[in-house]
Amino acid sequence: MTLPRQQQINRQRNGHVLVWDQNGLNEIFEDTKPRCFQKRFFVTFMLFLGMANAYVMRTNMSVAIVAMVNHTAITDGHDDVFDDECPNWNLTEVIPFGMLAKRYGALRFLGYGMLINSVFAFFVPIAARRGGAWGLSVIRFIQGLGEGPIVPCTHALLAKWIPPNERSRMGAAVYAGAQFGTIISMPLSGLLAEYGFDGGWPSIFYVFGAVGTIWSVAFIIWVYEDPCSHPTIGEREKKYINNSLWGTSEMKIPPIPFRTIAKSLPFYAILLAHMGHNYGYETLMTELPTYMKQVLRFSLKSNGLLSSLPYLAMWLFSLFISVVADWMITSERFSHTSTRKIMNSIGQYGPGIALIAASYTGCDRVLTLAILTVGVGLNGGIYSGFKINHLDITPRFAGVLMAITNCSANLAGLLAPIAAGNLIDNQVNYIKPTIAQWSKVFFIAAAVYIICGTIFNIFGSGKRQPWDNPENDHINDNHEAQRHNSSAPVTIVPASPEKTKQ
């Protein structure tokens, strides 16, 4: 059967239908264009705050632990180890959530998960004081389970709410919440650790736990699963979103094609890019405060403030570069594939090169911090690179793919502090945290960044994959019906023109 001319053009555009080329959308688009208070913008803002809350809960421990070990039983029996090369200066996440979100909806898993995360933050000081390392580990494990849905469920909601031509900047705005949360968490955690109530560091978890609880309740009440279920969304905005995403007023999610996904090279490109990013990012996020304390010798108060500067740069740069990425696509000067690869190269090669450069700065605190700030800032390109690429290759299964890649990436991220700990403070082999040892940590993270970024450039794609082609759904539906009702003959009827158009 010959496809309509417009559909052939759309297929040439990497399988994505530009919103202004879809029948009946021009009027809708023009109607929604001047309005600022669209529901999808509010959903984006709430997801941004949720991502910020999640990363506040992650990063506050890296600052709190510095003060915590001096006041609780959480210690390994060794005193704090410092590098004496520099002079003393001014010293004073799971796969099941993606599948469950697909079946039961992403909204409640995200909202209630973050509520659990936030409520259990109140128990961290009690667990640390009474249960020691084991008690603290149990509470943090429960918090981790609560935080598990944040990334896959966010991706699933973005897939339902954000049209393709807004995907880079909206996705970057949401995931930039990670940097915003880090920016807020590190300096405030430092201040609370020194001047807060209940001994200082416990106030970190009380304050941020309260903020997270308030957000979770607001999210559950005010945010909806998709445009169709929102009771007050305008009819024009609902049609605009659904038609630009699914080519119809309704979306349909078929069974997950696990076997085909397992053979997909673009999927593995995203997976390895995600794993490489998490390893490098966790090296910076969890080890940077320790590096600044042991080597650059900043005070705890300065530590939190100065450690947040790289993430401020990443937040601002990610917002800027996402607008550039959307322009590259909508101008038709670049394909989805080339745009994602360019953005991802900036996001992974940049911090890799910066980590190598930081290995040669010695005790120059200003230069070291400046290089790390630029490197982490360039890392913001990944949000318009592999991070949003799930939605390009498979809008309908983006949440599931994000759950798989995020789970694997978090496991890779766990290796970063383990490797750093063995390289910079190994009491068995009499290794101390010298500049030379820290350079090894940086070189390893840089190599991981560059190698994984290169793999993405070779095998990555911005095209919607054949196994997520809605035009094949009617065939799959008939096969499924035949399998469940084998006693009755099933005739496969060719799709109607309207069905084919979807």
pLDDT tens column, 321-336: 999 998 998 888 999 8
Q: What per-residue confidence (pLDDT) applies to 88?
A: 56
pTM of the model: 0.70
Q: Can you list the positions of beta strands (E) in 313-392?
A: none
Average confidence (pLDDT) over 435-445: 88
Question: Taking 70 as the threshold, does the pLDDT of residue 365 lie above it?
Answer: yes
H helix runs in 122-166, sequence order: 124-147, 150-161
Structure tokens at 481: 């019906």
**Residue 114 bridge partners (DSSP):** none
Neighbours of 1 (CB within 10 A): 6
DSSP annotation of 70 reads: T
CB-based burial label for 323 (10 Å; 0-12, 13-18, 19+): middle
**3-class DSSP state for residue 282?**
helix
pLDDT digit string, tens, across residues 58-67:
777 777 776 6
pLDDT above 90 as % of the chain? 21
8-state DSSP, 398? H
Q: Determine contact, residues 367/377, Cβ cutoff 8 Å.
A: no
Q: What is the dihedral of CA 403, 373, 207, 108, to 10 degrees?
A: -20
Tens digit of each residue's pLDDT (9 = 90 or more) over 34-59: 455 788 889 989 999 998 888 888 77
Quick count: other Cβ atoms within 10 Å of Cβ 37? 6
Max mean pLDDT among 116-130, 236-250, 299-313, 451-465 falls in 451-465
Residues 14 and 461: their CA atoms lie apart, in Å, by: 9
Of the candidate CATH numbers 3.90.580.10, 1.10.260.40, 1.10.510.10, 1.20.1250.20, the domain formed by 38-71+95-242 belongs to 1.20.1250.20
Confidence band, pLDDT 50/70/90 cuts, at residue 384 = very high
Domain locations in the chain as residue ranges: 38-71+95-242, 257-467
What's the confidence (pLDDT) of residue 301?
A: 56
Higher pLDDT, 391 or 80: 391
Residues 6+ apart with CB under 8 A from 276: 348, 412, 448, 449, 451, 452, 453
The DSSP string of 82-106 is: --TTSPP-S----HHHHHHHHHH-H
Can you identify the CATH homologous superfamily of domain 257-467? MFS general substrate transporter like domains (1.20.1250.20)
pLDDT at 334: 92
Amino acid 324: pLDDT = 93
Q: How confident is the model at residue 341 (pLDDT cuts 50, 70, 90)?
A: very high
Tell which residue, 360, 173, 367, 387, has the closest CA to residue 281: 387
Three-state helix/strand/coil letters over 15-40 = CCCCHHHCCCHHHHHHHHCCCCCCHH
Please determine, for residue 15, whether its predicted confidence score (pLDDT) is greater than 70.
no
Is 340 a residue whose pLDDT tops 70? Answer: yes
Q: Categorize the per-residue pLDDT at 97 as very low, low, confident or very high, splitting at 50, 70 and 90.
A: low
Q: Fold identical between 38-71+95-242 and 257-467?
A: yes
Structure tokens belonging to residue 301:
């108060």
User: For residues 116 and 98, what is the distance between their CA atoms, to the nearest angstrom?
Assistant: 18
CA distance 466 to 280: 32
Q: Which residues contact 407 (CB under 8 A, 6 or more apart)?
A: 93, 94, 95
Q: Which long-range contacts (CB under 8 A, 24 or more apart) does 441-444 make?
A: 441/283, 441/287, 442/283, 442/355, 442/356, 442/358, 442/359, 443/355, 443/356, 443/359, 444/283, 444/419
| DSSP per-residue letters across 474-501 | HHHHHHHHHHHTTTS----PPPPHHHHH
How far apart are the C-alpha atoms of 55 and 150, rounded to whole Å? Answer: 10
**Quick check: 70 pLDDT over 70?**
no
Out of 87-96, 145-154, 311-320, least confident range: 87-96
CA dihedral 95, 100, 106, 110 (to 10 degrees): -60
Tell me which DSSP letter residue 431 carries: B
